[in-house]
Chains A and B, each alone.
Chain A
Amino acid sequence: MLLSSIGRKWIVAISGLLMIGFVVVHMTGNLQMYAGTPDKINLYAHLLHSYPIILWAFRLGLIGVTALHIWGTISLARENRRAKPLQYAVAGRKSRLQVTWTSVTMVISGTVILGFVVFHLLHFTAQVVDKSYASMETAVGGVAMHDVYRMVIKGFSNPWISGFYLIAMGLLFSHLRHGAASVFQTFGLRDRQLVQVIEVGAWILAMALFVGFGSIPVGVMLGLIRP
């Protein structure tokens, strides 16, 4: 039953919700760039890396969740294409069919976000895009640790990287605007009274993530976040 249409919709919704949870925590962590001192985010990153078993269990879990989300959406989308072999010669009015732009571009936004995530991991996690990141060290209270603060500023000083980052965050907004609201429908929690709350709530969540993530490269480019 997990493989049925609705079973896979549940898999996509639950994995999507877990990933939303992850990006919210990730964004909150990033906001420590504004703490006024590099120590705050460096200590936070140091803490996250101090228990390799937990870190790797978390990473593998997140990779598994992402894989489920991708597998579920691809298999559903392929069936959807097959189920509609011929489109209408004249498209109906968008206003009549109440289909939103963000909802029809989910596959595109999701694919670009996936590409971004791979780049982002190579860039800041594996640090293979710019090898100098790996040797950025600092010490807080006598403890040597990786200088995440300086790495982020150096990373976002490159306008191409900041630009790609902002485009990806814009698509994340688009993806979650539809995705976060859809979770409620798949869980069967959407009804007449709640529609407005869910739609506006999804918009606010998606916008908060866009602003939270996006403000950091913008802040670096404008010189508001400095070494």
Chain B
Amino acid sequence: MKLHLRVWRQKGREAEGQFETYEAKGLNPNMSFLEMMDVVNDELTKEGKEPVAFEHDCREGICGSCAMVINGEPHGPNKGATTCQVYLRSFQDGETLTVEPWRARAFPVLKDLVTDRSAFDKVIQAGGFVSVNTGQAPDANAMPIGKEDAEKAFDAAHCIGCGACVAACRNGSAMLFVAAKVSHLGMLPQGQPERGERVRKMVAAMDAAGFGNCSNQYACEAVCPKEISADWIGRMNRDYAVSAVKKL
């Protein structure tokens, strides 16, 4: 199988980028998208050209490193899958695919398909944690948590911080990411003491990083490889208001 690729090439952060076209030939439909990129890069290296820079790590859909927009869809055409979990059988033989980096002011392109996603780290540093005094590890099950709450908290904790929500959003909003991180701690008893402070600080960090604002279109939820629900954004909106009123 073969594919025509239009890939975004950009030498550096300040450089102008443009699309370059490549023919990927001799592909196996059971190759992953990243394996196909490896084949393309092998060819480029053999020709003495600069390979396409892209991020990848676990290649099993849990690290959130691989970040490519394929035909305008972050992580490609499949629901609930990261780019590394997209296989070439999802495409037609001979199809033209346009591959771009995440687009958002808060995620500047570093090189080709690699963006700087440290804005997410700044949001986490602002409050995405629970403060625990050091000492003995607590007894297991010393703090009972209902099955339903545990499951819900885990649904939010599934977020791998890949940034597809920001990439898909027309406003470059990070509210799905921030809401998931605010809520998975806010659902649990350990997260209660800092709950109000957490949501206020994380939202302030989100605003400062230059993300846009949610306009309730839910493209984020549609492309999220972990299928995080946009309902968490509603919960964050409520938590934020409650905490703001309490602080008065």
Indicate if B3 sits at the interface (CB-CB under 8 A).
no
User: 8 Å CB contacts to A: which residues of B126-180?
Assistant: 168-173, 175
User: 8 Å CB contacts to A: which residues of B58-97?
Assistant: 69, 71-73, 77, 79
Query: Contact between B171 and A192 (Cβ–Cβ < 8 Å)?
Result: no
Which of B20-28, B29-37, B40-48, B223-231 contacts the other chain? B223-231
| Known A80-B170, A191-B234: A88·B72 in contact at CB below 8 Å | yes
Residues of B contacting A185 in the complex (Cβ-Cβ under 8 angstroms): 214, 216, 230, 233-234, 237
When each residue 155-193 of chain A gets 1 if its CB lies under 8 Å from chain B and 0 otherwise, what string results?
000000000000000000000001001101111111110
Per DSSP, chain B at the interface is mixed
Return A128 CB to nearest CB of chain B, in Å: 36
Query: Contact between A89 and B222 (Cβ–Cβ < 8 Å)?
Result: no
Query: Contact between A99 and B213 (Cβ–Cβ < 8 Å)?
Result: no
CA distance in complex: A6, B69 (Å): 28
| Known A80-B171, A85-B105, A187-B237: A90·B222 in contact at CB below 8 Å | no
Residues of A contacting B207 in the complex (Cβ-Cβ under 8 angstroms): 4-5
Query: Contact between B238 and A88 (Cβ–Cβ < 8 Å)?
Result: no
Which of A1, A8, A9, A99 lies in contact with B219, CB distance below 8 A? A99
Indicate if B210 sits at the interface (CB-CB under 8 A).
yes
Query: Contact between B213 and A82 (Cβ–Cβ < 8 Å)?
Result: no
Which of B49-57, B187-195, B239-247 contacts the other chain? B239-247
CA distance in complex: A99, B231 (Å): 16
Return A177 CB to nearest CB of chain B, in Å: 12
Interface size on B, residues (CB 8 A): 53
Closest to B211 in A: A83
Indicate if A24 sits at the interface (CB-CB under 8 A).
no
Query: Contact between A84 and B231 (Cβ–Cβ < 8 Å)?
Result: no
Residues of B contacting A106 in the complex (Cβ-Cβ under 8 angstroms): 215
Query: Contact between B234 and A1 (Cβ–Cβ < 8 Å)?
Result: no
Indicate if A76 sits at the interface (CB-CB under 8 A).
yes
Indicate if A57 sits at the interface (CB-CB under 8 A).
no
Query: Contact between A97 and B69 (Cβ–Cβ < 8 Å)?
Result: no
Indicate if A87 sits at the interface (CB-CB under 8 A).
yes
Query: Contact between B103 and A188 (Cβ–Cβ < 8 Å)?
Result: no
Residues of B contacting A5 in the complex (Cβ-Cβ under 8 angstroms): 175, 203, 206-207, 213-214
Residues of A contacting B215 in the complex (Cβ-Cβ under 8 angstroms): 76, 80, 103, 106, 182
CA distance in complex: A10, B213 (Å): 12
Query: Contact between A84 and B103 (Cβ–Cβ < 8 Å)?
Result: yes
Indicate if B112 sits at the interface (CB-CB under 8 A).
no
Query: Contact between B244 and A90 (Cβ–Cβ < 8 Å)?
Result: no
CA distance in complex: A29, B18 (Å): 58
Indicate if B5 sits at the interface (CB-CB under 8 A).
no
| Known A5-B213, A9-B214, A84-B103: A184·B234 in contact at CB below 8 Å | yes
Indicate if B217 sits at the interface (CB-CB under 8 A).
yes
CA distance in complex: A92, B247 (Å): 42
Closest to B223 in A: A97
Residues of B contacting A190 in the complex (Cβ-Cβ under 8 angstroms): 230-231, 234
Query: Contact between A87 and B217 (Cβ–Cβ < 8 Å)?
Result: no
Indicate if B106 sits at the interface (CB-CB under 8 A).
yes
Beyond contacts A6-B241, A182-B216: 8 other A-B pairs, Cβ-Cβ < 8 A, are A1-B200, A4-B240, A10-B237, A84-B169, A84-B171, A97-B222, A187-B237, A188-B241
Residue positions of B touching A, CB distance < 8 A: 6, 19, 69, 71-73, 77, 79, 98, 100, 103-106, 168-173, 175, 200, 203-204, 206-207, 210-219, 221-223, 229-231, 233-241, 244, 247
Residue positions of A touching B, CB distance < 8 A: 1-2, 4-10, 76, 79-80, 82-93, 96-100, 103-104, 106, 178, 181-182, 184-192
Instruction: Return 23 A-B CB contacts under 8 Å, by A number.
Output: A5-B206, A6-B237, A76-B215, A79-B213, A80-B170, A82-B105, A83-B211, A83-B212, A89-B19, A90-B98, A93-B72, A93-B73, A96-B222, A98-B222, A99-B170, A103-B217, A104-B170, A185-B214, A185-B237, A188-B239, A190-B230, A190-B234, A191-B234
